[in-house]
C-alpha cells in the first residue's frame, strides 16, 4: 500500500512538473508574440511609418532577450522597391528578463545591435529623415524627465553599421555614397514615457550617433553641412533632451560645412570635366 501511494505521489509530481514546463513554454511563446505586437504597434505610431520585426524573444527565466529582423519603412514619397526602408537592424541581444518588470521599470544593463543599415534620401529639397523627425516633433505623447526614467538602456553598442546616402546628403548629383562604421557605443538611453516614446528616443539616439560619427570622421563624398543640419534637427526634439547626450557636432558649424562642401564640389566638377564625353 505504501509503495502504491509513493508511486502515485511520484507520478503526480511528474505530471505536475511536465504541466508546469508545458505552461511555461506556452507562456513564453505567447509572451514573445505579445511583446512583438506591442513593440511594432507603438514603434509605428511613434515614428509615423511601419516598423516591423521578424521575431522577438523575451527572457522568461533569465535575461537573454533578443530581437531579429527589425525594419523601419521609408516615409512617402521615398518608399520604393529599391529603397523600402530607412533603417534596418539584423539582430540585437538584450540583457533583460520579464521578471525585472516587477521592479516597476525597465532597466536594461546592455543591448548589442549588429547589422545596422541607414539609408538617407533627398527629393525636392526634403529628406526621408526629416519626415521622421517632423513626425516625432509633432507627437503629443507625454514628455518624460531624465535622469529618473522608467525605461533605460545603460549601454547600447551598435556594430557593423552601413550608411547609404544620396541627394543633398552628398556632394554629387547622381551618385550613392556608402560608408561603414565598425562600432558605436552609447550610454544611458532613457525615458519615462511608454513604448512609443522609448522607440522615438532609441531611434533618435542611434541616428544621432551615426551622424555624429560621420561628421567627426568624414567620408569622401558626404556633405558635412547636410549631416550637421540633421543632428541639429534631432537636437531640437523634446524626447532627445531626455537622453542627456547634448549637442552632437561640436565645432561643425554651417559655415564650415558649406566651405568643405564647396571645396569638394569643385574637385568633383573638375573630375567630370576631365572625363571624355561619350
Does pLDDT of 12 surpass 90? no
Does pLDDT of 114 surpass 80? yes
Does pLDDT of 74 surpass 50? yes
| Other beta carbons less than 10 A from residue 54's beta carbon | 12
Average pLDDT, integer, range 224-240: 78
Ranges 52-61, 211-220, 264-273: which has the least confidence? 264-273
Does pLDDT of 84 surpass 80? yes
Average pLDDT, integer, range 236-255: 47
Domains of the chain, by residue range, sit at: 2-274
Q: In Å, how far from its chain's centre is CA 124? A: 26
pTM, full prediction: 0.74
For 198-209, how does the pLDDT look when each residue is reduced to its tens digit (9 = 90+)?
788 788 888 888
For 92-109, how does the pLDDT look when each residue is reduced to its tens digit (9 = 90+)?
999 987 777 666 677 889
Does pLDDT of 24 surpass 90? no
In this predicted model, which residue has the larger pLDDT, 126 or 89? 89
For 141-199, how does the pLDDT look when each residue is reduced to its tens digit (9 = 90+)?
544 444 444 778 889 999 999 999 998 888 887 889 999 999 999 888 877 666 777 78
In this predicted model, which residue has the larger pLDDT, 80 or 174? 80
Integer CA distances (angstroms), 108 to 76, 93, 101, in order: 34, 11, 11
pLDDT over 90 for what percent of the chain?
22
Cβ neighbors of 51 (< 8 A, separation 6 or more) are 39, 40, 43, 44, 70, 71, 72, 73, 199
With contact defined as beta carbons under 8 Å apart, do 165 and 149 qualify? no
Amino acid at each position: 500500500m505504501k509503495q502504491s501511494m509513493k508511486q502515485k505521489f511520484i507520478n503526480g509530481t511528474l505530471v505536475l512538473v511536465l504541466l508546469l514546463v508545458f505552461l511555461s513554454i506556452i507562456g513564453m511563446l505567447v509572451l514573445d508574440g505579445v511583446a512583438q505586437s506591442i513593440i511594432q504597434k507603438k514603434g509605428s505610431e511613434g515614428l509615423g511609418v511601419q516598423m516591423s520585426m521578424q521575431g522577438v524573444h523575451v527572457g522568461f527565466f533569465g535575461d537573454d532577450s533578443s530581437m531579429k529582423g527589425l525594419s523601419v519603412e521609408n516615409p512617402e514619397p521615398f518608399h520604393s522597391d529599391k529603397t523600402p526602408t530607412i533603417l534596418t537592424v539584423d539582430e540585437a541581444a538584450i540583457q533583460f528578463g520579464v521578471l525585472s518588470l516587477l521592479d516597476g521599470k525597465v532597466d536594461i544593463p546592455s543591448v548589442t545591435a549588429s547589422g545596422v543599415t541607414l539609408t538617407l534620401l533627398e527629393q525636392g529639397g526634403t529628406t526621408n529623415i526629416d519626415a521622421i523627425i517632423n513626425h516625432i516633433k509633432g507627437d503629443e505623447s507625454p514628455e518624460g524627465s531624465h535622469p529618473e526614467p522608467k525605461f533605460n538602456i545603460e549601454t547600447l553598442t551598435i556594430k557593423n553599421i552601413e550608411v547609404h546616402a544620396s541627394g543633398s546628403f552628398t556632394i554629387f548629383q547622381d551618385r550613392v555614397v556608402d560608408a561603414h562604421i565598425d562600432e558605436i557605443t552609447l550610454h544611458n538611453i532613457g525615458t519615462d514615457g511608454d513604448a512609443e516614446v522609448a522607440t522615438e528616443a532609441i531611434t533618435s539616439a542611434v541616428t544621432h550617433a551615426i551622424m555624429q560619427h560621420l561628421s567627426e570622421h568624414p567620408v569622401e563624398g558626404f556633405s558635412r553641412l547636410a549631416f550637421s543640419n540633421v543632428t541639429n534637427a534631432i537636437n531640437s526634439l523634446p524626447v532627445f533632451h531626455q537622453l542627456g547626450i547634448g549637442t552632437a557636432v561640436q565645432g561643425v558649424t554651417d559655415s564650415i560645412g558649406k566651405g568643405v562642401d564647396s571645396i569638394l564640389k569643385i574637385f568633383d566638377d573638375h573630375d567630370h570635366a576631365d572625363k571624355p564625353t561619350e
